[in-house]
Structures are given as structure tokens and as C-alpha cells.
Structure 1
Amino acid sequence: MARGGVNKAVVKIARNALLARGLHPSIDAVRVELGNTGSKTTIQRYLKELAEVEAPEPDMPLDEELAHYIGSLVEHMKRAAQRALASDRAAFEHEQAVALHQREVEQASWDQLRRAHDGLTRAREEGLAYQETLSVQLQACELEQRRLQEAHQQQERLLKERALQISSLEEKHRFTQEALDHYREQHVLQRERETQRHDQQILQLQREARAAHDQVLSKQEELSQIYRDLERMSGEQLRFHQEARRLEHDLQSMQEQLQAAQLEHRSDLRQMQGLAHQATALRQTVKLQRSKQRETQRDLRAKDQHITHLQTLVERLTPSAT
């Protein structure tokens, strides 16, 4: 049985072509002329049949033989061109389907990268906003710290002034007590010398002493009030110190949060740069696929033009041979 589309007409065309070139139509020569297709047994059988059929018949006119040969050759070329075109089209459609699938995959990947990029952009904006908020809070804490320091310095100045006042009052009390003691000594001495003559003066001095004593008691009460004020201001100063330490701790915590946000921001920037490199590589791949597709389309158009040229040539040769 013939293989690969080898039949008697094809074998005859190959045999006539070899004879036209002045070559002997052997089995191997015919098989080579047919493109190394068909079994040698089938070719031998067809050659034998052709030899038997053509032996008793007179020679065919050259024009008819040439027209028959050209028609067979054209038919063979048409079938070969159609098979090649069908194969090329199938290959092109396969490559186009693969390219379309690859494009869809790359488009999905690009969409995913774009969504990731948008998410990172939003996270970066939120980080910047949070950083701005921390900066504002830090400035507010620094202002509050300066205000507390100024208040602490003001309290220290008040304590110094109160201490000076207490020292002045103590000095006045000491002077008053010394003057009173000295006056009492003088009064006793004068009383011993002039007891009767100075009774009125003694009474007067006693009244003055009582008044001085009342004044001393009043000064002592003022001094006690000053001591109580000092204790109260010491408590307030302690509370101010505790508040300042708490604010310093909050400030340190905010600074640590700010440093963490900055590190996260730098990590986001590095991720965005890596995504941008991946997007660039994907775009290069898409460009290469598009270039290959354009080259395939150009090759297909060139083959179509070649087939059209062959058909035109055959159409021109067939009438002239007839």
C-alpha cells in the first residue's frame, strides 16, 4: 500500500520529470524526486504499470505531456503549499494562544503588582501622616517640658525668696529677743536701785513687755505659716518633678515609635523598588513576546505572498501550455 499520499499519478509525474532532465527513472531516483516518500515496492509497481501502459501506445504530443506534467506538478505544489500553510497557521495559532495566555498571566501579575504598589503607597502615606502626628506630639511635649522647667525654676526662686524672708524674720526675732533681755536686765537693776520711785515706770515697762511678747507671738505664728507654705511648696515641687519624669518617659516612648515608623518606611521603600524592578522585567518580556508575534505575522504574510505568486505563475503557464 502507498504511504504518505504516493499514487500512480505522482509517480508518473516524477518519472516524466526525470526523463525530461535526461535521467534514468530508477526506483531510488523517483523516490528522491518524490521527497523521499513512499515505499520502494509501491514505486516499483507503479513504474512497471506505467512502462506496460506506455509501451504499446504511441508517444504523447509534447505539449499535452508538458501540460499534463505541469498540471500534476501544480496540483502537487498546491497540496504541498496548503499543507505547509496549514502547518504554519496551526503553529502560529498555537504561538498566538500561548502568547495570549502569557499576556493574560502577565496582566494578572501586573494587576497584582499594581495593587501591591497601591497598598504600599497608602501605607507610606499613613506612615508619613503618623510621623507628622508624632512630630507634632513631640513638639508639644518639648513645649510642655520647657514650661515645666520654667515653672520649676520659678518655684526654686520663690523658695529662695521665702528662705530669705524666714532668715530675715529670724534675725529680727533674735534682735528683738536680745533687746528684750537687755531691757529686762536694765529694768531689774533700776528696780533694785529705785523701787519705789519707779513703780509707774515698771508698770509701763510691763505693758510694753506684754506688747512686745504679743508681737513675738505674732511673728512666731507668721513663721509657722511660712514653714507650712514651705512644706506645701515642697510637695508641689515633688509633684512637678514626678510630672517631668513622666513626660520625659512619654517623650522617649514617642521617639522609639518614631524610629520604628522610620524603619518600616525604609523597608516599604525597598519593597517598592523591588516591585518596580519586577514590573520593568515583565514589561521587557511583554515587548519580546509582541516582537515575536509581529515577526510570525510577517513570516505568514510572506508565505501567503509566495503562494499567491506561485498560483499566478501556474495560471500563466497553464493557458500557454494548452
Structure 2
Amino acid sequence: MARSGINKAQVQCARDALLARGLVPSIEAVRTELGHTGSKTTINRYLRELADAEPQPPRVSLSEELQAFIQSVAARLAREAQDSVAADRARLEHQQAAYQQQRAVDSARFEQLQIAHTAQGDEYRVLSQREVELNSQLQRIEGERQRLEEACRQQVKLLEERLGQIRSLEMKHQQAREAMSHYREQHQIQRQEELQRHAEQMGQAQIEMRGLREQLTVRQEELTQLYRDLERTNSAHGHLQQQLRQLERQVALTQQQRVSQDAALAKSRQDGETMASDLAAQHEKAKYYLLAHRQDQRLIRAQAKQINRLQAFMHLAQIDHPGP
């Protein structure tokens, strides 16, 4: 019995394929063509039916010479068919060898592409880590800049308060001068020596006040220079941020552009270090300014105490020598 799925049409297709390749459609050949399926009895029955269905040429009697000629022609055709099959087989083997070689080349190229892709991924991760480090450094620099700006604002506020104190001292000094002038007019004969000593003390106080004004002018110039340095620092910071944005755009480019990105990163790092040194210098200037300001405050307090002593002395002198 034939297996399930084997029919006459399949046997006919297998036989035609064998005939097309120049092979004899035997039972074994047909069964092999069908994938080693189907019983030989069924295949033989279908082959007989197909052979019976084909038109048969009329039988004629041939002489032995004609039969020998036909056999030689058939043998020649068989040899030519075998030669053609051998050539086709050699060509097929050559194509298969070329295909295997091309496949090996493609596999090697695929492995190289995978290695290159992995290397590019590693480079991208390294660049991303560098970008994170630069962003962190910029944040630290920005915090330091804001802290310096706050310190500068505090210094400006202290300077304004100091100017107010100096104006108040000048007003008190002017009042003291007026009082002393009036006192000289009232007691020029009795208190000439004391007034002269007082005038010398007031002259010394004026000299000290001028010195304080000059110091204040110097501090204001230093503060102006500090503001200019901060503006340059802000400009450098904006330039560095612009370079970082350019670096972010260049990260998505090809491997050839990563060389320029590394150079840009190195320059950005150098700029960041330069900015850090500038900020450290500004910090030292601000520290020096604070120390000088504290010294000026001590001088102002001492001057105020001296003026208070002079006022108390004048008040006592008025009590001791009242006017007419």
C-alpha cells in the first residue's frame, strides 16, 4: 500500500524531473526524487500507467546495422549527457565554493562590524561620562561664582553703610568745628592755648579722615576691578557653556568627528581649570578686601571715640567757662 500523500501526479512530476536531467526514471530514482516515500509497488503501477498513457511509436523491423548505428548514437548521446552533467556539477561545485568563500568573508566582515560597533559604544559611553564630569564641574564653578557675587553684594552694602557713617562723622565734625569756632570767639583770650591744642587735634582728625577717604576710594576702585573680573568670568562661563552645547551636537556624529570632540573636551577642561584659577584669585582678592574693610572699621571706631572725647572735652570746657 502507498503511504498517505503519494499520488499519480507526484509520481509524474518526479519522472518528468528525472527525464529533464537526462536520468532514467526507474522506481528507485523516482522514490528518491519523492523524498524516499511511497511504496515501490505503487510507484511501479503509476509508472506503467503513465507509460501506457503516452503514445507509442509504430514498431518497425530494423536491420542489425541500423540497430548498431542507433546504439552507437544512443551511447554517444549518453556520453555527451554525462559530460554535460559533469560540467554542470563542476560549475555548481565551483559556485558553492565561491558562495562558501563569500559567506566566510561576510562573516568576518560582520564580526569586524560588531567589534567596531562595540568600540563606538564604549567611546560614546566615555564621552557621556566626560560630559557628566564637565557639567558637574560647571555646576561647582557656577556655585562659586554665585557665592562671590553674594560676597560682593555684601561688600557693597557694607561700603554704603560705611559711607553713611563717614557722612555722619563729617556732619558731626562740621558741627564740632562750628562749636569750636564759636567757642574761640567767646573765649579767645582765656582759652587760646587750649583752643590751639584742640585745633591741632582736629587737624590730625581731618588728616585721618582724608586718609580714610583715600582708602575708601582705593577700596571702591578695587571693587570696580572685582566687578570687571566677575564680568570676564561670566563671559568665559558663557563661552564654556556654548562649547559644551557644541560638544553635545558633535556626540551624535561619526567616529571621525570624535577626534575633534576630544580636542574640544580638552580645551573645555583647560578653560574650566583657567576659570577655577580666576575664581580662586577673585576669592583671595575678596578675602583681602574683607580684612582691609575690618581694619577700616576699627579705624573708624577709634576716630569716633576720639571725636566723642573731643566733644565731651568741649562740653566740659563750656561748663567750666560759660559764655557772657
TM-score band by shorter chain is: 0.5 to 0.7
How far apart are residue 144 of structure 1 and its match? 0.8
1:226 aligned residue (216, 220, 223): 216
Q: What secondary structure is seen at the aligned counterpart in 2 of 1:25?
A: coil
Q: Which amino acid is 2:200 matched to?
A: R
Hey, what's the Cα distance between the residues in 2 that align with 1:93 and 1:223? 109
Q: List runs of 5+ in structure 1 lacking aligned partners.
A: 1-20, 31-42, 50-72, 269-322
Q: Which is greater in Rg?
A: 1
The answer for the alignment partner of 1:120 in structure 2 is 117
Hey, what's the Cα distance between the residues in 2 that align with 1:185 and 1:217? 22
- CA, structure 1 residues 206+24, in 2 after alignment: closer, same or farther (shift >3 Å)? closer
Cα deviations across residues 123-155 of structure 1 (Å, max 9, x unaligned)?
232132123212211221221122112112212
1:259 aligned residue (249, 260, 281): 249
The answer for the alignment partner of 1:153 in structure 2 is 150
- Identity of aligned pairs, percent? 11
The answer for the alignment partner of 1:25 in structure 2 is 60
Q: Is the contact between residue 173 and residue 216 of structure 1 (CA under 8 Å) also seen in structure 2?
A: no
The answer for the alignment partner of 1:204 in structure 2 is 194
- CA, structure 1 residues 166+47, in 2 after alignment: closer, same or farther (shift >3 Å)? closer
> Are 1:134 and 2:131 an aligned pair?
yes
Q: What secondary structure is seen at the aligned counterpart in 2 of 1:139?
A: helix
Q: What secondary structure is seen at the aligned counterpart in 1 of 2:60?
A: coil
The answer for the alignment partner of 1:46 in structure 2 is 65
1:215 aligned residue (198, 205, 217): 205
- CA, structure 1 residues 210+82, in 2 after alignment: closer, same or farther (shift >3 Å)? same
Q: What secondary structure is seen at the aligned counterpart in 1 of 2:252?
A: helix
- CA, structure 1 residues 119+136, in 2 after alignment: closer, same or farther (shift >3 Å)? same
Q: Which amino acid is 1:25 matched to?
A: V
Give the alignment of 1:1-322 within 5 angstroms: 24-25=59-60, 46-47=65-66, 87-191=84-188, 195=189, 198=190, 201-264=191-254
Normalised by the length of structure 1, the TM-score is 0.53
Normalised by the length of structure 2, the TM-score is 0.53
Q: Which amino acid is 1:170 matched to?
A: R
How far apart are residue 112 of structure 1 and its match? 2.3
The answer for the alignment partner of 1:271 in structure 2 is none
Q: Is the contact between residue 127 and residue 261 of structure 1 (CA under 8 Å) also seen in structure 2?
A: yes
Q: What secondary structure is seen at the aligned counterpart in 2 of 1:218?
A: helix
- CA, structure 1 residues 101+248, in 2 after alignment: closer, same or farther (shift >3 Å)? same
Q: What secondary structure is seen at the aligned counterpart in 1 of 2:105?
A: helix
Q: Is the contact between residue 138 and residue 251 of structure 1 (CA under 8 Å) also seen in structure 2?
A: no
Output the aligned Cα RMSD. Answer: 3.7
Q: Is the contact between residue 166 and residue 223 of structure 1 (CA under 8 Å) also seen in structure 2?
A: no
How far apart are residue 172 of structure 1 and its match? 0.8
Q: List runs of 5+ in structure 2 lacking aligned partners.
A: 1-55, 259-324
Aligned length: 202
How far apart are residue 184 of structure 1 and its match? 0.8
Higher relative contact order by CA 8 Å / sep ≥ 6: 1 or 2? 1
Q: Which amino acid is 2:203 matched to?
A: H
Hey, what's the Cα distance between the residues in 2 that align with 1:207 and 1:124? 87
- CA, structure 1 residues 48+236, in 2 after alignment: closer, same or farther (shift >3 Å)? closer
How far apart are residue 158 of structure 1 and its match? 1.0
Cα deviations across residues 48-77 of structure 1 (Å, max 9, x unaligned)?
99xxxxxxxxxxxxxxxxxxxxxxx9x999
How far apart are residue 85 of structure 1 and its match? 5.9
Hey, what's the Cα distance between the residues in 1 that align with 2:100 and 2:164? 93
Hey, what's the Cα distance between the residues in 2 that align with 1:108 and 1:47? 58
How far apart are residue 47 of structure 1 and its match? 4.9
Q: What secondary structure is seen at the aligned counterpart in 1 of 2:225?
A: helix
Q: Is the contact between residue 145 and residue 244 of structure 1 (CA under 8 Å) also seen in structure 2?
A: no
